[in-house]
Chains A and B, each alone.
Chain A
Amino acid sequence: MAVRAGRALSFPARIARSDAALPLGLLAPTIVYLTLLILVPVAQAILLSFQAEDGALTLDAYQRMVSEAAFADSLRNTALLLVFIVPIQLVLALAMALLINSRFPGHGIFLYIYAIPLAISDLAAGIVWLSIFTESGYLNTVLTGLGVTKEPIAYLSYENLHLVLMAIVVAESWRATAIVLVILLAGLQLIPRDYFEAAELFGASRWKRTLLVVLPLLRPSLQSALIIRTVFAFQTFAVVLTLAGRQFPVLAYEAYDWYANVFNSHVAAAYAGLILVLTMTVVVFYLRLFRVREGEAAR
């Protein structure tokens, strides 16, 4: 490597003073690509939400969206799902990742098994959990067979909305935990063994080790996983639709329904715009919460 003139500055200072050319150069393809393909159509669609049939600017679509009974329900339901699903999946995925990371004999097979739901589309996941939770489904078969319940329970009936919520949370947790798992596992790989061993050395219990040592070091991955999972949670509705039909409205399905069934792309765009704003808000919240600095984890 050439010795550059003016090498009086130390390495960290030099790198910290990188001009913006390189990072922007690395980022440019991504930005250009996404702008052309996604962001421009998104902007067009948002504009659509502020237009009437003839193109005049109006808030009609938003008014219509807000005045529907399903609107409040879908807001509430989407929030409920987030509140339940995200923490459950984090805990499950973390448990799986820690187990795998301990490299016990056979951990490779277990990792593969845990990763299988990744392969399953949300439609297929919806179908299989429907066959479990439906009145004549597997869960009722097992429970009545074991004598735990006498009559089959209607888990998916609108009369038992709390059971419906439970069914959706279970199905979604099952389906999407693997995504969180592979992210967390990748992050765990980068925590040097020394840290684990040092903690053991000082007699810390396994719980303490996990909470005080691993979690903070895992922050970047936790942040990524949370963000990804939340962004998806705002978008997916296939499992909800299959299990609960329209009795458990969620924002993503309302957007789709207005577009594909009612043929009203203005209100659909209004819902989509709302989803965008809400997701953005939550993600910004996560980013503030986690404030990760580069290389902090491994120092």
Chain B
Amino acid sequence: MTAVARAAPRRSPSRRVLLDRLLLYGAATFLALWTLVPIYLIAVAAFSERGAVYDYPKELLPTRFSTDTMAFFVGSSGVISSVKNSVIVALGTIVLSLAIGAPAGYALSRFRFPGRDVFQLAVLSSKMFPIAILAIPLAVTFIGLGLYDTLLGVVIVHSAMVLPFVVIVTAGVFASVSRELEEAAQTLGTSRLGAFLRVALPLALPGLAAAAIFAFVTSWNEVFAATILTLRERTLPAHVVASLNQSPLYFKFAGGFFLIIPSLFFIYFMRKYLFNLWGPGK
């Protein structure tokens, strides 16, 4: 840091750096604890004896460990097959929503054309209406299309629910990608599509990763549409939420925790894409 001579820090550089580091780690750890404590509590409750969840004072440590509740829940009919369905639907939602939405985000960010703002609002407006109230017309349409009780039907609806997010996020990210880079690539001989694929897309990867994570998680947790559109081919929330809402508290924790696990894996897998491939910043 060449500014040292001018700024003349009052402390020696190493102590300053140490203090900085301490603050940094302190803040990061505090935030991490804030995030983790409730997850820890769900996990402890899910893996405790049934009565433990009603105790007061509550046990903070897993002193009454038991896998009974979880085992019963996971082993109950339909749970495993609904997990499989949920995975298919979630992955399908990512593919479909990104395929349709990312180009739209690109268009919104790059081009000025009449009605652009209206388009943006129209896309967003589809998220502004509670989906639960649209259940009947959707179900009737899908029965008519022969998509009732199919996973494809759920993928289609979930993609529609996630699409606005994908469009907005990708638009925001593409807007930050310098247009000059694409133009430079084009001068160097690639087509417009090539410039998009080789320049804009990789730079926008963190945004796309964010959109993918969100698509997965939204689809995975979505309850209303999945419930009304499926009967036998149920996703996990459709299968489980009505039951959990009327079950005792310990099942709610077990079910809640079980619902989290696959998303945790997915986010773990995707997290490195949230960073640019070219290292810090550029």
Contacts and interface: CB of A to CB of B under 8 A. Distances in A.
Q: A–B direct touch, CB within 8 Å, in complex? A: yes
Q: Which of B117, B119, B171, B172 has the most CB of A within 10 A?
A: B172
B260 A223 contact: no
B15 interface: no
B175 A295 contact: yes
B45 A192 contact: no
Contacts of A124: 42, 256-257, 259-260
Interface in A172-208: 174, 179, 182-183, 185-187, 189-194, 196, 200-203
A263 to B, nearest CB: 12
Interface residues of A, number: 115
A117 to B, nearest CB: 6
Given A33-B160, A41-B137, A255-B130, A115 B213 contact: yes
Contact of B103 (A26, A235, A280): A26
B231 to A, nearest CB: 18
A42 B177 contact: no
Interface stretch (A76-84, A91-99, A157-165): A91-99
Interface in B150-196: 156-157, 159-161, 163-165, 167-169, 171-180, 183, 186-187, 189-191
Contact of A1 (B132, B159, B171, B186): B186
- Majority DSSP secondary structure for residues of A touching B: helix
A220 B108 CA distance: 12
B206 A12 contact: no
B54 to A, nearest CB: 8
A268 B267 contact: no
Contact of A104 (B25, B34, B110, B263): B25
Contacts of A27: 103-104, 107-108, 119
Interface string B201-231: 0010011011001100100110100000000
- Majority DSSP secondary structure for residues of B touching A: helix
B39 interface: yes
A118 B213 contact: yes
A238 to B, nearest CB: 9
B274 A120 contact: no
B274 A37 contact: no
B38 A129 contact: yes
Contacts of A284: 121
Interface in B235-282: 237, 241, 244-245, 249, 252-253, 256-257, 259-260, 263-264, 266-268, 271-272, 274-276, 280-282
A186 B110 contact: no
Contacts of A119: 217, 220, 260, 263-264, 266-267
A182 B213 CA distance: 9
24 contacts: A23-B113, A27-B107, A41-B138, A41-B141, A42-B125, A42-B129, A45-B134, A99-B31, A104-B28, A112-B267, A116-B267, A120-B256, A128-B38, A186-B274, A190-B276, A201-B1, A203-B6, A217-B176, A232-B127, A275-B130, A283-B124, A287-B117, A295-B176, A298-B178
Given A259-B133, A279-B125, 11 more contacts: A99-B28, A118-B217, A131-B53, A132-B38, A152-B56, A182-B213, A191-B281, A201-B3, A203-B7, A276-B128, A280-B125
